Amino acid sequence: MKKNTVEKPIFYAAIIVALIVVIPMILNPDGANSLMNTAFGKLVNNFGWAYLWFAVISLILLMYIAFSNYGNIRLGEPGEKPQHSTFSWIAMLLCAGIGSSLLYWSSIEWAYYFMSPPYGAEPFSLAAVDWATSYGLFHWGVSAWAMYTLPTIPIAYVYWVRKNPSMKLSTACSGVIGEERAKGWLGKAIDIFFIFGLMGGCGTSIGLGTPMITAGLNTLFGIPKSFTVDLIIIICWCLVIGLSLYRGLEKGLKQLSTLNLKMAIFVLLFVLFVGPTFFILNTMSDGLGHMFQNFAKMSFWTDSVGGSGFPQGWTVFYWAWWIVVAPFMGIWVAKISKGRTLKELILAEIIWGSVGCWLSYSVLGNYALYLEINNIVPITGIIANQSTYDAICAMLLSLPMGKVILFMFISTMFIFLSTTMDSAAFTTALVASKDLEFGEDPVKWYRVFWGFLLAALPIALLFSGGALRALQTSSAVASPPIILIFIVMTISFFIWVREDGALEKYSGNTRVDKGEFNEE
């Protein structure tokens, strides 16, 4: 390892940009919130259609790549075996991509649609139930995971097939913008955009995860909700994240992700089989059927005449959020996918990612709905009068061994956030490094440093009130340039495949010498 692998321009510029944005938010959180909400409102009201179309086009394009000759391209040499077992690979993919946000939203998102349904449905009606059980599946389904998968393809190709040791977004754009611009100010700007967006993503995870765990500890042990408790939780997070990053990909992130997935599966199976099993399964079938039946409608709806704001406040915001976080997933999944074909990669991300989210939404969300409509636990009333976190605690406590399951739930959430922050720090360290050899990881101290930094800025905002929300919204405002970056990356991928003769090499029709992939 070379002594100095820090990419100083990216390193310092990312920190400076973050501070320029974050400090005013800390000093004036209300003003920052108002400004960001206004900016985002104008963005989604005028260009919401573009986000909706981008999601659909991404899904169609990826299906074309998967089921055409492009899908035969293997990340590595022809016949190369996968680096990780399928279970470990999927575990690392899921745990990085969904995090603690999935457990939170799958438990509670249905309630918002039940209370304020789309398409003019009556609140708390049977029509509201249909939308409540299907819209969350849509927002965490194939369209969302397609946007996660799209940047993975060019990053994985340029790294594993072209053997370029850089996993930066700027490198994945070089097929269009050229090597010189990719290494110059334009490339630096692309990579800084990625890091800033990721800070907002980490802020969301911390902003949802910390209050949920605090509420769980308060319910279980009577520990009061306070700044001190939040701080202790975050310190514990940082210690776990730092240890995992120090141990590396194999001994740290892989083991933590595998443990996390097993815990999540246990919680879901317990709720499914101890709770109202047949209601959950029947309602899951209803929700999936309603989603697929209305998929096109939900994918393109802007409500331009009705002006309800529902698609802008939910679908477009979700799509902007997936887009902002997607570059991190692209780098992470590319890094762990050696030996996989593009078809395997695309189908695993889109199918297994969606299925994992659908199971969580169907089990936790439908169980909570059962409690609501049967007047067992007034979930919507608790949300209105207390908080969403208290509603989730009440839902889990209604189960047999409820306190044990609540403890398992917040423990799984704790580890989910750890794996998300781990992989985020790992990929950020890759982007902010230089002169790495092919297959080489960033130095340990640098990975740990980014883990603490990605946590530190959202933590500062969390304790300053509404400023964290402003950071989340501001990073979503950064999504339009990232869409343009994705388009450039995708065009670069097709250019490289044609230049390299990769379709012939990986179909076995024509022998291509290894050295040809490095020729200009």
**10 Å Cβ neighbour count for 109?**
22
Q: 520 in a domain, yes or no?
A: no
Identify the band that residue 514 occupies on the pLDDT scale cut at 50, 70 and 90. Answer: very low
Query: Which residues have CB under 8 Å from 235's CB, separation 6+?
Result: none
The domain of 350 spans 8-510
Asked if residue 106 belongs to a domain, the reply is yes
Instruction: Please name the residues in contact with 516: beta carbons below 8 A apart, sequence gap of 6 or more.
Output: 500, 501
Distance CA 420, CA 118 (A): 32
**438: burial class by Cβ within 10 Å (0-12, 13-18, 19+)?**
exposed
Is 519 a member of any domain?
no
Say what the pLDDT of residue 201 is: 73
Q: How confident is the model at residue 87 (pLDDT cuts 50, 70, 90)?
A: confident
Question: Residue 1 domain-assigned?
Answer: no
Q: Above 50 in pLDDT, residue 1?
A: no
Crossing angle (nearest 10°) for helices 142-149 and 353-360: 140
Select from 150, 199, 149 the least CA-distant residue to 471.
199
What is the arithmetic mean of pLDDT over 276-289?
Answer: 98
- 426 is a domain residue: yes
DSSP helix, strand, coil percent of the chain (3-state; round to 5): 80, 0, 20
Range with lowest mean pLDDT among 116-120, 175-179, 235-239: 235-239
Helix extents (H) in 361-516: 366-373, 379-385, 388-397, 402-431, 444-462, 467-477, 479-500, 502-507
pLDDT at 509 over 70: no
Q: Give how many domains the chain has, as a whole number.
A: 1
Give the Cα separation of 314 and 131 in Å (integer): 13
CATH number at residue 402: 1.10.4160
**Cβ-contact 104, 357 below 8 angstroms:** no
More confident residue, 473 or 341: 341
Residue 174's pLDDT is what? 94
Residue 375: phi, psi to the nearest 5? Answer: 55, 35
pLDDT digits (tens, 9 = 90+) for 350-385: 999 999 999 999 999 999 999 999 999 999 999 999
Q: Could you tell me if residue 2 is inside a domain? A: no
State the average pLDDT for the chain.
87
Judge whether 24 lies within some domain. Answer: yes
